[in-house]
Amino acid sequence: MASSVRNLAALVLIFIRFGLVFSQPLINRATVIQSASALKKQYDYVIVGGGTSGLTVANRLTTDPSVSVLVIEYGPLDKLEPGVLVPGVPPPKEYSRNYVSVPQPGLLNKPQPVYSAAVVGGGTVINGMFFNRGSAADYNGWEDLGNPGWGWKGLLPYFKRSENFTPPPPELAAQYPISSDLGPHGTEGPVGSSFPQYQYPILKSFYKAWNSIGVPSNPQPNGGRAVDAFYSTLSLTAWNQSRSSASTAYYRPIEGKRPNFYLLTLHSVTKISINRKHKRATGVQAGQRQLQQIPQPLPRPVFQQPDLDRRATRLILQKPNR
Protein backbone atom coordinates (compact mmCIF):
# COMPACT_ATOMS: atom_id res chain seq x y z
CA MET A 1 0.00 0.00 0.00
CA ALA A 2 2.74 2.46 0.98
CA SER A 3 4.64 1.96 -2.26
CA SER A 4 1.46 2.35 -4.32
CA VAL A 5 0.58 5.62 -2.59
CA ARG A 6 4.08 6.99 -3.05
CA ASN A 7 4.12 6.03 -6.73
CA LEU A 8 0.80 7.84 -7.17
CA ALA A 9 2.17 10.81 -5.25
CA ALA A 10 5.04 11.01 -7.71
CA LEU A 11 2.57 11.06 -10.57
CA VAL A 12 0.59 13.84 -8.93
CA LEU A 13 3.77 15.81 -8.28
CA ILE A 14 4.64 16.07 -11.95
CA PHE A 15 1.12 16.98 -13.04
CA ILE A 16 0.82 20.76 -13.54
CA ARG A 17 -2.53 22.38 -14.32
CA PHE A 18 -3.18 25.70 -16.08
CA GLY A 19 -6.06 28.18 -16.27
CA LEU A 20 -7.36 31.76 -16.15
CA VAL A 21 -7.17 33.90 -13.04
CA PHE A 22 -10.07 35.44 -11.13
CA SER A 23 -10.72 37.25 -7.88
CA GLN A 24 -11.26 35.12 -4.79
CA PRO A 25 -9.86 35.80 -1.29
CA LEU A 26 -8.09 33.16 0.74
CA ILE A 27 -10.41 31.59 3.28
CA ASN A 28 -9.30 31.43 6.89
CA ARG A 29 -9.07 27.69 7.49
CA ALA A 30 -7.03 25.91 10.13
CA THR A 31 -4.69 24.18 7.69
CA VAL A 32 -4.72 26.71 4.85
CA ILE A 33 -1.51 28.70 4.45
CA GLN A 34 -2.37 32.36 4.00
CA SER A 35 0.78 33.42 2.13
CA ALA A 36 4.12 32.12 0.88
CA SER A 37 5.85 33.75 3.83
CA ALA A 38 4.18 31.24 6.15
CA LEU A 39 5.66 28.24 4.35
CA LYS A 40 8.25 25.95 5.86
CA LYS A 41 11.56 25.61 4.05
CA GLN A 42 10.95 22.02 3.16
CA TYR A 43 8.31 19.28 3.17
CA ASP A 44 8.54 15.53 2.76
CA TYR A 45 6.08 15.68 -0.13
CA VAL A 46 4.89 18.54 -2.33
CA ILE A 47 1.76 17.74 -4.33
CA VAL A 48 1.03 19.99 -7.30
CA GLY A 49 -2.73 20.36 -7.64
CA GLY A 50 -5.31 19.87 -4.90
CA GLY A 51 -7.83 18.13 -7.12
CA THR A 52 -9.26 14.63 -7.00
CA SER A 53 -6.00 12.68 -6.99
CA GLY A 54 -4.02 15.37 -5.15
CA LEU A 55 -6.28 15.44 -2.08
CA THR A 56 -6.58 11.65 -2.05
CA VAL A 57 -2.81 11.18 -1.98
CA ALA A 58 -2.34 13.95 0.59
CA ASN A 59 -4.95 12.40 2.86
CA ARG A 60 -3.35 8.96 2.66
CA LEU A 61 0.19 10.24 3.19
CA THR A 62 -0.70 12.36 6.22
CA THR A 63 -2.09 9.39 8.12
CA ASP A 64 1.57 9.05 9.10
CA PRO A 65 2.12 11.97 11.54
CA SER A 66 5.86 11.96 10.86
CA VAL A 67 5.34 12.88 7.19
CA SER A 68 4.75 16.51 6.17
CA VAL A 69 2.77 17.21 3.01
CA LEU A 70 2.17 20.48 1.17
CA VAL A 71 -0.58 20.71 -1.46
CA ILE A 72 -0.34 23.67 -3.86
CA GLU A 73 -3.67 24.46 -5.51
CA TYR A 74 -4.42 27.00 -8.24
CA GLY A 75 -7.99 27.57 -7.07
CA PRO A 76 -9.55 28.65 -3.77
CA LEU A 77 -11.28 26.58 -1.13
CA ASP A 78 -15.02 26.58 -1.73
CA LYS A 79 -17.40 28.09 0.82
CA LEU A 80 -19.79 25.12 0.90
CA GLU A 81 -22.33 27.06 -1.14
CA PRO A 82 -25.47 25.38 -2.55
CA GLY A 83 -23.74 25.38 -5.95
CA VAL A 84 -21.15 22.89 -4.71
CA LEU A 85 -23.36 20.84 -2.40
CA VAL A 86 -26.83 20.69 -3.98
CA PRO A 87 -27.03 18.58 -7.18
CA GLY A 88 -28.44 20.56 -10.08
CA VAL A 89 -27.59 24.01 -8.68
CA PRO A 90 -25.02 25.69 -10.99
CA PRO A 91 -21.61 25.96 -9.28
CA PRO A 92 -20.12 29.45 -8.78
CA LYS A 93 -18.29 30.64 -11.88
CA GLU A 94 -15.16 31.44 -9.90
CA TYR A 95 -14.55 27.72 -9.40
CA SER A 96 -14.14 27.09 -13.14
CA ARG A 97 -11.51 28.04 -15.68
CA ASN A 98 -12.56 30.22 -18.56
CA TYR A 99 -11.57 27.98 -21.47
CA VAL A 100 -13.20 28.36 -24.88
CA SER A 101 -13.00 25.81 -27.67
CA VAL A 102 -12.27 26.33 -31.32
CA PRO A 103 -15.40 26.79 -33.48
CA GLN A 104 -17.43 23.58 -33.65
CA PRO A 105 -18.67 22.72 -37.19
CA GLY A 106 -21.57 20.69 -35.79
CA LEU A 107 -22.74 23.58 -33.58
CA LEU A 108 -23.21 26.35 -36.13
CA ASN A 109 -19.45 26.86 -36.18
CA LYS A 110 -19.57 28.55 -32.77
CA PRO A 111 -16.96 28.20 -30.01
CA GLN A 112 -18.16 26.49 -26.85
CA PRO A 113 -17.11 26.75 -23.19
CA VAL A 114 -14.78 23.98 -22.02
CA TYR A 115 -15.38 23.34 -18.35
CA SER A 116 -12.43 22.65 -16.09
CA ALA A 117 -12.28 23.16 -12.34
CA ALA A 118 -10.14 25.67 -10.45
CA VAL A 119 -11.00 24.86 -6.84
CA VAL A 120 -9.78 22.64 -4.02
CA GLY A 121 -11.28 19.25 -4.87
CA GLY A 122 -11.03 19.78 -8.62
CA GLY A 123 -13.69 18.57 -10.99
CA THR A 124 -15.51 16.63 -8.28
CA VAL A 125 -16.74 19.98 -6.90
CA ILE A 126 -18.38 21.14 -10.14
CA ASN A 127 -18.90 18.10 -12.37
CA GLY A 128 -21.98 16.08 -13.29
CA MET A 129 -21.33 13.64 -10.41
CA PHE A 130 -21.15 10.41 -12.43
CA PHE A 131 -19.37 7.85 -10.25
CA ASN A 132 -18.67 4.80 -12.36
CA ARG A 133 -15.61 2.75 -13.31
CA GLY A 134 -14.19 1.52 -16.55
CA SER A 135 -14.24 -2.08 -17.69
CA ALA A 136 -11.75 -4.61 -16.36
CA ALA A 137 -10.06 -4.74 -19.76
CA ASP A 138 -9.26 -1.02 -19.54
CA TYR A 139 -7.22 -1.47 -16.36
CA ASN A 140 -5.74 -4.80 -17.44
CA GLY A 141 -4.32 -2.92 -20.41
CA TRP A 142 -2.32 -0.77 -18.00
CA GLU A 143 -0.91 -3.86 -16.34
CA ASP A 144 -0.11 -5.47 -19.68
CA LEU A 145 2.07 -2.46 -20.50
CA GLY A 146 4.37 -3.40 -17.64
CA ASN A 147 2.66 -1.99 -14.55
CA PRO A 148 2.17 -4.80 -12.02
CA GLY A 149 -0.75 -4.24 -9.66
CA TRP A 150 -2.52 -1.75 -11.93
CA GLY A 151 -4.90 -4.30 -13.43
CA TRP A 152 -8.55 -4.76 -12.43
CA LYS A 153 -7.88 -7.25 -9.63
CA GLY A 154 -5.13 -5.09 -8.19
CA LEU A 155 -7.13 -1.84 -8.26
CA LEU A 156 -10.57 -3.09 -7.24
CA PRO A 157 -9.72 -3.18 -3.49
CA TYR A 158 -8.73 0.48 -3.66
CA PHE A 159 -11.87 1.41 -5.61
CA LYS A 160 -13.91 -0.22 -2.86
CA ARG A 161 -11.83 1.38 -0.13
CA SER A 162 -12.74 4.86 -1.37
CA GLU A 163 -16.48 4.18 -1.68
CA ASN A 164 -19.34 4.51 0.77
CA PHE A 165 -22.13 2.94 -1.26
CA THR A 166 -25.78 3.12 -0.28
CA PRO A 167 -28.12 0.82 -2.25
CA PRO A 168 -31.21 2.40 -3.79
CA PRO A 169 -34.66 1.94 -2.23
CA PRO A 170 -36.32 -1.31 -3.37
CA GLU A 171 -38.97 0.60 -5.31
CA LEU A 172 -36.29 2.34 -7.38
CA ALA A 173 -34.31 -0.84 -8.00
CA ALA A 174 -37.51 -2.53 -9.18
CA GLN A 175 -38.09 0.10 -11.88
CA TYR A 176 -34.60 0.38 -13.33
CA PRO A 177 -31.74 -1.99 -14.21
CA ILE A 178 -29.94 -1.74 -10.85
CA SER A 179 -28.29 -4.79 -9.32
CA SER A 180 -28.57 -5.67 -5.64
CA ASP A 181 -25.07 -7.18 -5.72
CA LEU A 182 -22.84 -5.29 -3.26
CA GLY A 183 -19.72 -7.27 -4.18
CA PRO A 184 -18.07 -4.58 -6.37
CA HIS A 185 -18.91 -1.78 -3.91
CA GLY A 186 -17.32 -0.47 -0.76
CA THR A 187 -19.47 0.66 2.14
CA GLU A 188 -16.98 2.22 4.56
CA GLY A 189 -15.04 4.65 2.38
CA PRO A 190 -15.13 8.46 2.43
CA VAL A 191 -16.74 9.10 -0.97
CA GLY A 192 -20.52 8.85 -0.98
CA SER A 193 -21.99 6.74 -3.78
CA SER A 194 -25.71 6.34 -4.35
CA PHE A 195 -28.73 7.21 -6.50
CA PRO A 196 -30.95 10.30 -6.53
CA GLN A 197 -34.36 10.03 -4.92
CA TYR A 198 -36.12 11.82 -7.77
CA GLN A 199 -36.26 10.25 -11.22
CA TYR A 200 -37.45 12.00 -14.36
CA PRO A 201 -40.38 10.01 -15.82
CA ILE A 202 -38.81 10.06 -19.28
CA LEU A 203 -35.83 8.07 -17.99
CA LYS A 204 -37.63 4.76 -18.52
CA SER A 205 -38.11 5.65 -22.17
CA PHE A 206 -34.35 5.87 -22.67
CA TYR A 207 -33.87 2.26 -21.60
CA LYS A 208 -36.75 1.13 -23.80
CA ALA A 209 -35.19 2.95 -26.74
CA TRP A 210 -31.78 1.35 -26.23
CA ASN A 211 -33.30 -2.08 -25.78
CA SER A 212 -35.41 -1.66 -28.93
CA ILE A 213 -32.28 -1.31 -31.07
CA GLY A 214 -30.51 -4.28 -29.52
CA VAL A 215 -28.55 -2.65 -26.70
CA PRO A 216 -29.24 -4.64 -23.53
CA SER A 217 -29.48 -3.19 -20.03
CA ASN A 218 -26.57 -3.77 -17.69
CA PRO A 219 -27.63 -3.76 -14.02
CA GLN A 220 -24.05 -3.87 -12.64
CA PRO A 221 -21.60 -1.64 -14.56
CA ASN A 222 -19.15 -1.39 -11.63
CA GLY A 223 -18.28 -5.08 -11.61
CA GLY A 224 -15.78 -4.94 -14.46
CA ARG A 225 -18.11 -4.69 -17.45
CA ALA A 226 -19.00 -1.05 -18.04
CA VAL A 227 -20.85 -1.46 -21.33
CA ASP A 228 -24.43 -1.43 -22.63
CA ALA A 229 -27.20 0.74 -21.11
CA PHE A 230 -26.83 1.18 -17.37
CA TYR A 231 -27.87 3.42 -14.51
CA SER A 232 -24.69 4.97 -13.16
CA THR A 233 -24.13 5.62 -9.48
CA LEU A 234 -23.49 9.25 -8.52
CA SER A 235 -20.97 10.77 -6.13
CA LEU A 236 -23.84 11.44 -3.76
CA THR A 237 -24.25 11.32 0.01
CA ALA A 238 -27.43 9.28 0.36
CA TRP A 239 -28.82 10.53 3.67
CA ASN A 240 -28.97 14.19 2.66
CA GLN A 241 -28.66 13.89 -1.15
CA SER A 242 -25.67 16.26 -1.27
CA ARG A 243 -22.64 16.16 -3.56
CA SER A 244 -19.73 14.07 -2.33
CA SER A 245 -16.46 15.52 -3.62
CA ALA A 246 -12.76 15.01 -3.02
CA SER A 247 -12.97 18.08 -0.79
CA THR A 248 -15.77 16.75 1.42
CA ALA A 249 -14.28 13.24 1.44
CA TYR A 250 -10.55 13.80 1.81
CA TYR A 251 -10.03 17.34 3.11
CA ARG A 252 -12.98 18.59 5.19
CA PRO A 253 -13.02 15.65 7.63
CA ILE A 254 -9.37 16.23 8.60
CA GLU A 255 -9.38 20.01 8.29
CA GLY A 256 -7.46 21.42 11.23
CA LYS A 257 -6.87 17.95 12.69
CA ARG A 258 -3.59 16.99 11.04
CA PRO A 259 -0.74 19.44 11.71
CA ASN A 260 1.33 17.72 9.01
CA PHE A 261 -1.16 18.60 6.23
CA TYR A 262 -0.56 22.00 4.59
CA LEU A 263 -2.67 23.57 1.84
CA LEU A 264 -1.53 26.59 -0.17
CA THR A 265 -4.35 27.96 -2.34
CA LEU A 266 -4.39 30.47 -5.20
CA HIS A 267 -0.85 29.62 -6.29
CA SER A 268 0.35 28.15 -9.56
CA VAL A 269 3.46 26.01 -9.92
CA THR A 270 5.66 27.22 -12.77
CA LYS A 271 8.64 24.92 -12.47
CA ILE A 272 9.62 21.56 -11.02
CA SER A 273 13.28 21.11 -10.15
CA ILE A 274 14.64 17.73 -11.26
CA ASN A 275 17.81 16.06 -10.03
CA ARG A 276 19.02 14.66 -13.34
CA LYS A 277 21.49 12.29 -11.73
CA HIS A 278 18.93 10.61 -9.51
CA LYS A 279 15.99 11.31 -11.85
CA ARG A 280 13.69 12.62 -9.14
CA ALA A 281 11.92 15.86 -8.32
CA THR A 282 13.61 17.88 -5.58
CA GLY A 283 11.53 21.05 -5.39
CA VAL A 284 9.02 23.34 -7.07
CA GLN A 285 8.78 27.02 -7.93
CA ALA A 286 5.43 28.76 -7.70
CA GLY A 287 3.86 32.20 -7.89
CA GLN A 288 0.71 33.71 -6.46
CA ARG A 289 -2.08 34.31 -8.92
CA GLN A 290 -2.89 37.80 -10.03
CA LEU A 291 -6.26 38.77 -8.59
CA GLN A 292 -8.73 40.35 -10.99
CA GLN A 293 -12.39 40.25 -11.89
CA ILE A 294 -13.90 37.15 -13.46
CA PRO A 295 -13.72 37.61 -17.24
CA GLN A 296 -16.65 36.85 -19.49
CA PRO A 297 -16.34 33.88 -21.87
CA LEU A 298 -14.35 34.85 -24.95
CA PRO A 299 -16.13 34.36 -28.30
CA ARG A 300 -12.91 33.44 -30.09
CA PRO A 301 -11.12 30.12 -30.66
CA VAL A 302 -8.34 30.41 -28.10
CA PHE A 303 -7.35 28.66 -24.92
CA GLN A 304 -6.46 31.00 -22.10
CA GLN A 305 -3.05 30.62 -20.51
CA PRO A 306 -2.02 31.34 -16.92
CA ASP A 307 -1.47 34.97 -16.01
CA LEU A 308 0.80 35.13 -13.00
CA ASP A 309 1.58 38.35 -11.20
CA ARG A 310 5.20 39.16 -12.08
CA ARG A 311 5.60 40.81 -8.70
CA ALA A 312 4.40 37.72 -6.89
CA THR A 313 6.64 36.18 -4.30
CA ARG A 314 8.67 33.33 -5.70
CA LEU A 315 9.20 30.33 -3.51
CA ILE A 316 11.49 27.35 -3.69
CA LEU A 317 10.54 24.26 -1.74
CA GLN A 318 13.35 21.77 -1.39
CA LYS A 319 12.82 18.14 -0.55
CA PRO A 320 15.13 16.88 2.21
CA ASN A 321 17.87 14.45 1.30
CA ARG A 322 17.30 11.06 2.82
Over the stretch 32-65, which tens digit does the pLDDT of each residue have?
776 667 788 889 999 999 999 999 999 999 999 9
pLDDT at 289: 81
Higher pLDDT, residue 84 or 307: 84
pLDDT(296) > 80: no
Quick one: DSSP state of residue 187? B
Cα 1 to Cα 120: distance, rounded to the nearest angstrom? 25
pLDDT at 189: 96
pLDDT(283) > 70: yes
pLDDT at 41: 84
% pLDDT > 70, the chain: 79
Confidence of residue 14 (pLDDT cuts 50, 70, 90): very low
Rounded average pLDDT over 264-270: 92
pLDDT(1) > 80: no
pLDDT(293) > 80: no
**Cβ 46 vs Cβ 317: under 8 Å:** yes
pLDDT(294) > 70: no
| Residue burial 64-80, b: 16+ Cβ < 10 Å; e: rest | eeeebbbbbbbbbbbee
pLDDT at 34: 60
pLDDT(13) > 90: no
Cα 227 to Cα 220: distance, rounded to the nearest angstrom? 10
% pLDDT > 90, the chain: 66
pLDDT at 115: 86
DSSP H/E element including 82: helix 82-85
pLDDT(309) > 50: no
pLDDT at 288: 87
Rounded average pLDDT over 90-108: 92
What sign does the dihedral 17-22-24-26 (CA atoms) show? positive
pLDDT tens, 220-235?
A: 999 999 999 999 999 9
pLDDT at 234: 96
Higher pLDDT, residue 170 or 125: 125
